[in-house]
Amino acid sequence: MATLCKNCAAPLVFDPLTQKVVCRSCGSSWTAEEVESSDKKFREQEHAKAVEDVVGVDDSLKNEYFDCYIYTCGSCGGEISINGTEASTKCIYCGSTSVVFDRISKEKAPEFIIPFSISKEQAVDLIKARFKKGLFIPKEVKNFSPSEVRGIYIPYWIANAFHVEADVISSEVKSGKHSVTKYWGRSGKMAISNLPVDASVMLSDESSQRLEPFDTSDLKLFDEDYLLGFYSNVSDITNEQLQTTVHKRAREAFHEQVLKTVRGSSRSVDVEQASTIVDQDVRYAMLPVWFVTYDYMGKHNTIMVNGQTGKVVCGAPWNEKFFMSIVAGVSSVLTLLLTWYFSSSLVPSLFRDYNRRRQQHYSSKNDNNPAKLIIVFIFIGVFLCVAGYAIYKKVKKQLQLTQASSIFNFMKKRQG
């Protein structure tokens, strides 16, 4: 169903900047609570029909179209193709937003929503500002033109939980010249409040968790008019999947804290006994996310922007050759400095009188000890190598998420 302006009958959209439902034709605006479509009571029972029931898809093609449904645009009467969980979409013929009311009926409707407060243009600008800070990001990527931008409300369950756990932790602790394995016992309990759990199977939890945090103090009572101009999905996870996700995240948070209480290196949780009780009063909400897609060197890149806070979640293609040349250059400089100090200071010092060198060492504050300088250079070199490798792994992981087919497929199904 498309919601039309009562003054000029043009389609209405929700404007993130004014937080009002506006008509771009005549300039009228209302709050979401003030808008009421006269067609709603007649169309809220209308169902989306399976595509094979409408066009008669051959049995051999059903696997390809199994999640495809047809819904009729309430504005122009065009047939809109939607997937099995979409609650709002845009008509490819007239551009109106259609709300699939049977999917957000009173039994299924979210209780709350956080409306978009970041506009489409702001989302793109935030991404470009983020890219400009990247030293190794190619110019073509910094000046990218988005191929598609979609504002999508993602279904979430907001959960409270109580977690108890007892762990056995091992770590390597220095004992003289050697290291020994020590074991530590830790137990405790933890209360979790307002944990957002992504309720869309198609969107990976690893991607959606990077969008956090959301400010749940901005939750508003759900009104379908907030969906105008945007896409949205309904929850399609089971209660068991919800419980599993909350338990997993509670364990991860608990482990992160208890590992900080243990001395030594190579710390790990070897044995654990954990239980999580999820409060039955979970809240069902829709939270705003911008999906921005661009192509680079034949690969799709999808960037997510938190539609409430503006947090950018992405990994960008980068110039690995430039990065490696910087690493090689720094290594070469360190090597030359070490060689120079070794040849000019350390070798001659081997032939000096030991007492004289000791006397000079204590009598002159400006005397440089070549051996100490070499140790410092070696330490700096090792530190740079370790830090560079950590950055490399982080960037590669972020890029894998950005180029993952799952996130691209989640977004590309949207028409418009």
- DSSP string covering 373-384, please? HHHHHHHHHHHH
> How would you write 278-330 as a 3-class SS string?
ECCCCEEEEEEEEEEEEEECCEEEEEEEECCCCCEECCCCCCHHHHHHHHHHH
**What are the structure tokens assigned to 77, written together?**
């009467």
Dihedrals phi, psi of 353, to nearest 5 degrees: -70, 135
| DSSP letter string, 197-246 | EE--SSS-HHHHHTTPPP-GGG-EE--GGGGTTSEEE-----HHHHHHHH
| pLDDT at site 202 | 83
| pLDDT at site 170 | 95
| pLDDT at site 212 | 93
3 state SS of 110 = coil
Residue type present at position 101: F
- Residue 155 has, within 13 A of its CA and on its CB side, a CA count of 24
| pLDDT at site 72 | 54
58 neighbors 66 (Cβ within 8 angstroms) = no
The residue written with tokens 């029909």 in the block is: 49
| pLDDT at site 94 | 54
| pLDDT at site 87 | 58
186 neighbors 261 (Cβ within 8 angstroms) = yes
| pLDDT at site 317 | 73
pLDDT per residue, tens digit, the chain (416 aa), is: 567 888 888 888 899 999 999 998 899 999 988 887 555 554 455 444 443 443 444 444 444 434 444 445 555 555 455 555 555 566 654 555 555 554 555 446 789 999 999 999 999 999 999 888 877 788 888 888 888 888 999 999 999 999 999 999 999 998 888 889 999 999 999 999 999 999 988 888 888 899 999 999 999 998 888 988 888 888 888 999 999 999 999 999 999 999 999 999 889 999 999 999 999 889 999 999 999 988 888 888 889 999 999 999 887 776 666 666 666 666 667 666 666 666 665 555 545 544 555 555 544 444 455 556 666 666 666 676 666 666 666 767 777 777 677 777 777 666 55
The contacts found for 69-72 with CB under 8 angstroms, 24 or more apart, are 71/46, 71/98, 71/100, 72/46
DSSP state of 105: S
| pLDDT at site 289 | 94
